[in-house]
Chains A and B, each alone.
Chain A
């Protein structure tokens, strides 16, 4: 190699290489400086704005993960605890029981628990939920809208370009700061 030993005079090639390396370091430094002013240690994460979600069902199929990182969550404070829950039951159920043929959820991910007459509590089993939004549609159309979709950050891998966001018909996906990673429904004022 040229100029590998110090006794040799610096060749033209080695000189150019030296200059290019300095240039590269300067460019990296300048880039780092420009970004450091704006960069934050805290990152951004994707989230669904429930006010814009159209419950289309894309979340179940478009996520890069085999089991979508989007799940249904329940704002219990908004729930009417209805006996005939339109998020839980098929449009015309045979009976208001937990029998599979009455349920709207394709995976049986909603648990129905009796609290007191005539109130029932509905909780989501996230292991089973696929994020298809069938219950969200039922609850929003005929009920209080207490069931809604959210990206669960224990599952989301936070892709640079969210695959569901690309196909979301409602344009409901946006980046939110990692310190406030959820857009929960808390009141009907939203």
Chain B
């Protein structure tokens, strides 16, 4: 009754107006309910995550180096997928953390949570000393892909090398866009997290399902050909103090481990010293490639700079400004109360402020794109250089950077079987005192 009468007295549109005085409930003495405010995750839950990460890393190291146990890593993988994946819904995760660090470095007003710093730094420190133990069974993305791998196929070396550049490109993409405050692309284009959340944008869900399907045959496709944090860990693992070795004592070059690695990380012993003309040609090529490096960086930066304004249209503010300017030239009816119409109304209220914000955002995008382009040039150049540098190896061993420390190759080594008592020492191939003829 009261309210129907009041409806006639309606003014225009002003939400901050108390049109109907709240009743005082003198008759019934009704108590007003309190608006509930469920809190975000408590601080101790965040610290628990860091503790679980540290514990899982320590356990992984023990399983890889001390126990040399694939089975142990398998169970740790299941735990990681359950805890960091499905329980935590893929957040907080180390893969996106470099972006937060980059964002925090260039935006003093953003206080990066300590949890994120810990997730960024701990796996890297471990990788600097003992390789990619994080990838082995702690990272939920890697662990899930590792678990679905049923029938590994070998990726041809040329494809492996070509696609191996992508993680570094993705890393540069994420870092340059986060540093300039233009977005967090690594999180936006993560195909595995929608699987953990069991929903997400349809494109990313489809990509996630595709990644896992591909992962049935191609070992860890995301880790090898996309993961930006994996690129950082690869760099750290390249200089690690300790490394995963196939054999517990000495390699007899029996070649039994050759096909044990589903991730293309096994390297065979390199042939002996090449003849002088070969070396001379190699050196000349290396010098040419080193000279090409700055050219590639400059070209990349230039292309990025040119593409910047187009990429900037991905940003909501820039997109709105573009739409606003277009609307003034040729008005389009967006309907009543649609998000498009509402945002245009906001633009009309303060066109100057919006255009200024959009111009600033576009500037950031151009800078981010130029940085990213330069980085892509650098990555391509370094890849070319690395292809012409030869590493001398005496034994079969996993590549330091590419090895995920999954422990699959251990059991392929007869020396390991002897160590475990699964094979009498007499049956094992005898240690070769010098490299066999096949490798010469």
Interfacial residues, chain A to chain B (CB-CB below 8 A): 1-2, 13, 17-18, 20-21, 24-25, 28, 31-32, 34-36, 38-45, 51, 54, 56-58, 64-66, 73-86, 115-116, 118-119, 121, 123, 137, 140-145, 152-154, 156-161, 163, 166-171, 178, 181-182, 184, 188, 190
Give the contacts of B213-265 with A (CB-CB under 8 A): 235-236, 238-241, 243, 245
Q: Which residues of chain A have C-beta atoms less than 8 A from B99's C-beta?
A: 160
Q: Select A160's contact among B100, B105, B121, beta carbons within 8 Å.
A: B100
Q: A28-B124, A83-B3, A182-B37 known; A41 and B113 CB under 8 Å? A: yes
Residues of chain A with a CB closer than 8 A to B330's CB: none
- A43–B50 CA distance with the chains assembled, in angstroms: 14
Interface centre among B16, B89, B129, B187 (most CB of A within 10 A): B16
Chain A residues with CB under 8 Å of B238's CB are 17, 20
Minimum CB–CB distance for B18 against chain A, Å: 5
- Known contacts A2-B392, A159-B91, A160-B96; 16 additional CB pairs below 8 A are A28-B128, A38-B111, A43-B46, A76-B33, A82-B20, A83-B4, A85-B3, A115-B28, A116-B25, A144-B18, A144-B22, A153-B38, A161-B187, A168-B316, A181-B39, A188-B16
Nearest-CB residue, chain B, relative to A24: B128
Interface size class of B (residues with CB under 8 A): 35 or more
- Rounded to whole angstroms, the CA-CA distance of A32 and B245 in the bound complex is 31
| Per-residue A-contact encoding for B1-32, CB less than 8 Å = 1, 0 else | 11110110010010111111111010110101
Given the contacts A64-B197, A144-B18, A182-B37, A119 and B114 also touching, CB distance less than 8 Å: no
Please tell me if the beta carbons of A38 and B13 are within 8 angstroms of each other in the complex.
no
A92 to chain B, nearest CB (A): 12
Quick one: given A73-B35, A83-B1, A141-B13, are A39 and B112 in contact (CB under 8 Å)? Answer: yes
Q: Which residues of B contact A32 (CB under 8 A)?
A: 117, 121
Closest chain A CB from B83 CB (angstroms): 15
B113 contact from A2, A42, A119, A181, Cβ within 8 A: A42
User: How far does the alpha carbon of A84 sit from the alpha carbon of B187 in the complex, in Å?
Assistant: 45
Query: Is B397 on the interface with A (CB-CB < 8 A)?
Result: yes
Nearest A residue to B124, CB-CB: A28
> Is the pair A21, B240 in contact by a Cβ cutoff of 8 Å?
yes
Whether A115 contacts B30 by the Cβ 8 Å rule is: yes
Q: How far is the CB of B408 from chain A (nearest CB, A)?
A: 20
Please tell me if the beta carbons of A80 and B23 are within 8 angstroms of each other in the complex.
yes
Enumerate B325-364 residues with CB–CB distance to A below 8 Å.
337-340, 342-343, 346
Kindly report which residue of chain A lies nearest to residue B243, judged by CB atoms: A1
Stretch at the interface among B151-159, B198-206, B305-313: B198-206
Q: Is the CB of A157 within 8 A of B91?
A: yes
A interface footprint on B48-88 (CB within 8 Å = 1, 0 otherwise): 00000000000000000000000000000000000000000
The CA-CA distance from A25 to B409 in the complex, in Å, is 30
Interchain nearest-CB distance for A74 vs B (Å): 6
